[in-house]
Amino acid sequence: MGVSLADLAAITGSELRGDPDLAITGVGTLAGAGVGQITFLSNSKYRKYLEATKASAVIVGAADADACPVAALVAADPYVAYAKVAQRLAPAARAPGVHPSAVVDPGATLGSGVTVGPGCVVGAGAVIGDDSWLVANVTVLERVQIGKRVIVHPGAVIGADGFGIAQDAGRWIKVPQLGTVLVGDDCEIGANTTIDRGALEDTVLEEGVKLDNLIMVAHNVHIGAHTVVAGCVGIAGSTRIGKRCLIAGASGISGHLNIADDVMIMAMSMVTSDIHQAGQYASGLPLDSLANWRRNGARFRHLDELAKRVKALEKKSDKD
């Protein structure tokens, strides 16, 4: 069984060093892979395991090729090559079709090759594109449109009402949420992530957007193509995020902002203003011992006063 090393070289565009007919049956880590398995070396931190690997083959960069004690695939980017090899050797175990426990409204449209897993709910007028996969217990509400080859992980909710309320004489009344959600091709949406429908226009994920778990995408948000958002991020209403951005975990982005293309936001950042330029941004404070943190945090509450005192000293000093 397995796949020949030659086939894996072809799939990945790698240079093959070793027996082209070697049958590879699975993948493993550099330290843990055994006979019949292929592994990879991408992070130099793991180079120490290369010499003693028990794998039958290793995907390496050119710099490590000579040091590889077994057959090798020499790739421009070993991690990308590994991803393609793993996709070939360990394809996702899913069969197209609607699980009997799923509830798909008769007015929904499913493309060819779609899988709707157990416990999923798909509302009226929803469209799920070809080869997309709702894994389990996913809720896709009415009129949501999902592109092709999209994966939605368990517990995700797409198209719930946005948080639209208006204050009428001391009570909050509901503003109907009449837009929907458009999810582009090749997006992936993590477990228990929620994407609200637009208020009047639509919430949009362009193609290739990858959302991790427990992310909140509010109404009318627009996320550009190939942007990646890590877990626990909240994006407030009507914010527009550019293409190819990287938003690290647990960041919060206020509403009605514009974030440029190619912006990278570090973990736990608070974004409250537009970002006009590509680049790396951060906020938050690094961890410290509780005792130090208490001392410094107390000073922060008087930082403005401290700055004024420094200014006063400078004035006095200038006069001397």
Task: Tell which positions 22-61 bind its own copies, by CB under 8 A.
Answer: 27-29, 32
Query: Of the residues 153, 219, 222, 226, which is catalytic?
Result: 219
* By CB under 8 A, residue 19 contacts its own copies: no
**Could you say whether residue 167 binds its own copies (CB under 8 A)?**
yes
Query: By CB under 8 A, is residue 296 in contact with its own copies?
Result: yes
Q: Is the dihedral of CA 281, 284, 288, 292 positive or negative?
A: positive
Is residue 289 a contact point for its own copies (CB under 8 A)? yes
Instruction: Give the angle subtended at the CA of 243 by the CAs of 239 and 244, to the nearest 5°.
Output: 125
**Residue 18 lies near its own copies (rule: CB under 8 A):** no
In the bound state with its own copies, the residue whose beta carbon lies nearer, of 66 and 241, is: 241
Nearer to its own copies, 20 or 79 (CB): 79
The least distance separating its own copies from the CB of residue 91, rounded to whole angstroms, comes to: 8
User: Considering beta carbons, is residue 52 or 91 the nearer one to its own copies?
Assistant: 91
Say how far apart CA 92 and CA 102 lie, in whole Å. 20
Question: Could you give the C-alpha distances from 161 to 158, 200, 216, 318, in angstroms and in order?
Answer: 9, 11, 12, 61
Binding mask 174-213 for its own copies (x = CB under 8 A): xxx-x-------x-x-xxx-x-x---xx------x-x-xx
Site size toward its own copies (CB under 8 A) is 125
Interacting residues with its own copies between 84 and 113 (CB under 8 A):
84, 86-87, 90-93, 99, 101, 103
Q: What is the CB neighbour count within 10 angstroms for residue 294?
A: 11
In Å, what is the CA distance from 195 to each residue of 70, 205, 268? 47, 10, 20
Query: Does residue number 161 form part of the binding site for its own copies (CB under 8 A)?
Result: yes
Establish if 66 lies at the interface with its own copies (CB under 8 A).
no
CB-CB contact of 257 with 281 (8 Å): no
Which of 24, 218, 221, 223 is close enough to bind its own copies by CB under 8 A? Answer: 218
Asked if 219 is an active-site residue, the reply is: yes
| CA–CA separation, 235 and 223 (whole Å) | 10
Under 8 Å between Cβ of 146 and 107: no
* CB of 10 vs its own copies, minimal distance in Å: 16
- The stretches of 41-173 forming alpha helices (DSSP H) are 62-65, 78-89
Catalytic residues: 219
